[in-house]
Structure 1
Amino acid sequence: MDIVRHLPHHDVVFPEIFCHFKIESLFQLRLVSKCWQSLVTEYFRRRQNLDLSEFGQRVTVDAFLLMTSNNKVLKQLLVPEATSWLMDKHLLPVIHNCFHVLTDIDISNCSQLSSSSLHSLAANCRNLTKVSLKGCIWVDKDNFKQLVINNRGLRKIDVSWCWSLDDDCLINAAFSCPFLEELILSNTRTASDSALQIIAMKYKELKYLSVKGCWQVTNRGIRAIGDHCKDLKVLHVSNCLGVTEASLARLRVRGVAMDVPVPFEDSLIEIENAMDTIIKPHMCLHLTALSHPVLKEQKRTNCQSRSMKRN
């Protein structure tokens, strides 16, 4: 501790040493002494990213408050699957303190939260680039619209299983966030071809799109995506019964990765075409050889010889 005490905390200890520690190790370090406890607390107060993705429900409220209280520089907050402990009263202070710098937030499947948290994000944050609201059935239309309007720099939106959102919300996002690269609409139920056509025309930089489980999406919407989103790299369309190879084939040729395989009958056609390229040249060569004049005469002589032997 004496060595660390004489090192610059903000310039050396925090950015060069503590940043390599796992969160569990930092909490264990707090138990060593009051000096270490104070130092770790100060580090959390100045930490710019907090990723609790691997912990889920194992985080306690006290631990979360210790890591976030008095922090006014937090840019990234990832707390997915905090279904049993994260509530509005715990999250709202963080948003209030860090709204001016917060760029990336993931509160997927945080079922104890409410629209109050979304309202705070929508009303205060202006610099968000990534928002993950997967499984947050409490997400409402008005606050979502306000969120995208106030954050034109959004690059990723995940609203999977947000059943209350409709085409109007998605179209509103398309007009508000022109730089979006990743859009996840899985199982939103109401997403349709009409929304996809607007999305296709507005999201020129779209690279990742998931509409799996969106039963209203058909080939018409996917064709629009293929026509306009030239940078698309990944497309998820599983459980979209109205989407077939009629719209997917051209995207496969472009190298777009998909979560549905090529239908079996199409694979057979490909095999048949491949076999044709191998067998047909040999067949043509064989027929050409049989039609050669010298070979024809030799074949006639052989037939006569066999006939004389029989007689």
Structure 2
Amino acid sequence: MNEGEINQSPCITRLPDDPLYVIFEKLENNCDRESFGLTCHRFLDIQNLSFRCLNLGYVAHSFRTRVKTDPFILDKLLNRFKQLESLSLTNCYELSDSDLTILENYGFKLRSLYLSFCPRVTDISLNSVASGCRLLSIISLSNCSITDSGLETLTKSCKSLVEVNLAWCLSITDHGIQSLIQNCRQLKALKISWCNKIVGVGFQGCSAALAYLQVDCCAIDPMGISKILSGGGLEYLSLCNLNKCPRGHGLGAIGSGFAANLKILDLKMCTSVTDDVIISISKGCPLLQEWNLSFCDEIGYPGWESIGLYSDDLKTLHVNKCVKLCDRGLLALGNGCKRLSMLYMTECRLVTRYGIRIFKSLRADVEISKKVVSTIYPYC
């Protein structure tokens, strides 16, 4: 074979970029993809430009440690993987505002950004994110040192946010929530647990798109409850350990019609919830599939009876340490709740072995578990 024939011979490296991208995407395991990138410089470029997700927080999660970030290395990685759509820096404990200024240049294609447990991240970082990451749809800022001002700046630029995690952001108030609610009308999921300066009034005028809301251990008051429900689209609501609604005052609004789409309701440790509240919710939330009432001390027979009568779609019920649940109330649940399949029940001192035996004879299809579930997650 002469030199001219060699130069004209078929070679995969002469293919244009598009089919090479297709070939790379067809590779099913990481080993094959790494081998592809080691073939030549051009193939390495194809590999780098096909990289969509970078998780630097994975090391911390795997080895239960805090990750130290090197700004130089982070800059190199973001310069190499220019098509990144998801970046996780969770648990990068020493990550600082100056480290994140590079997002102004490299974050233009990011859709998801995870900065949870990065306590040195402040409003200055949110300015960088707002400047460089305008396509963001998901951001996690749990345990970051941000304020209403930074959140307002972020939401004015990143209006396509659909999932936001602000848990343990202790300086966030209803003013910041109002900015988020008004600027991001596509917002679907929000976590604000342990934000103890939020009372709920910032949810006034929230969109019907808001479907998943976790507000555990906040200072939500009766007025705040009504504002939270005002959008009418909630399917998942967690209000664990609510202590600003004496005798459940305000919680009855959940059954007033604004939460008719609710499928999961977590009221664990809402110790002042009364029978009237349970009756209202049972009647007003016909689609409810999972309900956590663990540690709710004040629910008596009328409450359990109403659940049996009206919660036709209920599949899972948590009643751990409900001290007023008795054999009669358990039987009322058994006679109703035709779709019930899982009952989490332990330390209900008025429920006897005889009562459990009668329940099981009526409802052999229901599994009884002594497990205490700490968090209920939305159904996918």
The equivalent position to 1:170 in structure 2, one of 161, 167, 177, is 177
Distance 2:119 2:29 in 1: 27
Distance 2:184 2:44 in 1: 38
Which string of whole-angstrom CA distances, capped at 9 and with x for unpartnered residues, describes residues 115-155 of structure 1?
Answer: 43222112343322222111112x13322211111222221
Distance 2:214 2:334 in 1: 37
Is the Cα–Cα contact under 8 Å of residues 236 and 258 in structure 1 kept in the other structure?
yes
Map of 2:134 onto structure 1: 126
The equivalent position to 1:78 in structure 2, one of 80, 83, 88, is 88
* More contact order relative to length (CA 8 Å, sep ≥ 6): 1
Is the Cα–Cα contact under 8 Å of residues 75 and 98 in structure 1 kept in the other structure?
no
> Is 1:135 aligned to residue 138 of structure 2?
no
| 3-state SS in 2 of match to 1:50 | strand
Map of 2:100 onto structure 1: 91
How has the CA–CA distance of structure 1 residues 168 and 33 changed in structure 2, closer, same or farther, with 3 Å as cutoff? Answer: closer
Map of 1:294 onto structure 2: none
Letter in 2 for 1:163: L
Is the Cα–Cα contact under 8 Å of residues 112 and 137 in structure 2 kept in the other structure?
yes
Is the Cα–Cα contact under 8 Å of residues 83 and 112 in structure 1 kept in the other structure?
yes
Displacement, 1:96? 2.5
User: In the TM superposition, what are the counterparts of 1:247-266 in structure 2 within 5 Å?
Assistant: 247-249=253-255, 254-260=261-267, 261-262=292-293, 263=296, 264-265=299-300, 266=303
Displacement, 1:51? 4.0
Distance 1:66 1:117 in 2: 19
RMSD between superposed Cα atoms in Å: 3.8
Distance 2:37 2:334 in 1: 76
The equivalent position to 1:154 in structure 2, one of 151, 161, 167, is 161
How has the CA–CA distance of structure 1 residues 100 and 236 changed in structure 2, closer, same or farther, with 3 Å as cutoff? Answer: same
Which structure has more helix as a fraction of its residues?
Answer: 1
Aligned-pair identity (%): 18
Displacement, 1:254? 4.3
Displacement, 1:42? 5.1
The equivalent position to 2:216 in structure 1, one of 212, 215, 231, is 212
Question: Normalising by structure 2, what TM-score?
Answer: 0.57
Map of 1:298 onto structure 2: none
Runs of 5+ unmatched residues, structure 2: 1-9, 268-291, 309-327, 336-380
| 3-state SS in 2 of match to 1:80 | coil
Distance 2:147 2:57 in 1: 24
Runs of 5+ unmatched residues, structure 1: 279-311
Distance 2:165 2:333 in 1: 46
The equivalent position to 1:69 in structure 2, one of 53, 65, 79, is 79
Map of 1:105 onto structure 2: 113
How has the CA–CA distance of structure 1 residues 63 and 241 changed in structure 2, closer, same or farther, with 3 Å as cutoff? Answer: same
Displacement, 1:208? 0.7
Query: What count of residue pairs does the alignment treat as equivalent?
Result: 265
Map of 1:232 onto structure 2: 234
| 3-state SS in 2 of match to 1:152 | coil
Is the Cα–Cα contact under 8 Å of residues 37 and 44 in structure 2 kept in the other structure?
no
